[in-house]
Amino acid sequence: MPIRFRSITLAGALLLSTAAGAQQVRTVSQRGGYDASRETTVLGTVVSFTPQSKSAPAGGHVVLQTSSGTVDVNLGNTALLQAAGVELKTGDSLRILGENVNFMGGQFFAARVVQKGAQAVALRSSYGIPLAAPRQSNTSATDAKAQGGAR
């Protein structure tokens, strides 16, 4: 009889069990993934902003000057910032909630929430999964004209 494996994700832990009842628990931190219990806040000034990185990890990056040096922050999907009307420019002060994540033998700071002034934008779920950008309407001026135009 083959052994069947079942996986269930519970509050940041991956539980693997076999038909024989043996259990092994591996936490996200043991895997090196995102773990909200390890989140920290980084405060700094924007040195540079890249909306889409050409190297891993993919997504937008912002380099912040903090009191302890520069930090390269992976923002993930920057279309979320754009949709919220948040522009990042050199000299802007940011507060970023996230955590250092192990990735391909190195580490990067993964932003979950970016705050500029009073506006905060969520970029990742509490599990560290990048959020999708809101869908934009495909209605164009031509479509509006075909439907009788604005009244």
Averaged pLDDT, groups of 10, the chain, 151 residues long: 39 35 38 81 97 86 96 94 95 96 84 97 92 70 48 47
Q: Residue 123 class from Cβ within 10 Å (0-12 exposed, 13-18 middle, 19+ buried)?
A: buried
pTM for the whole thing? Answer: 0.68
Quote the tokens at residue 76.
């993930």
The residue among 16, 17, 37, 40 whose CA lies nearest residue 26 is 16
- pLDDT reported for residue 144: 46
Element (H, E) at 39: none
- pLDDT reported for residue 11: 35
Whether the CB-CB separation of 18 and 29 falls below 8 Å is answered with no
- pLDDT reported for residue 32: 54
Cα 28 to its chain centre, rounded Å, is 16
- pLDDT reported for residue 77: 92
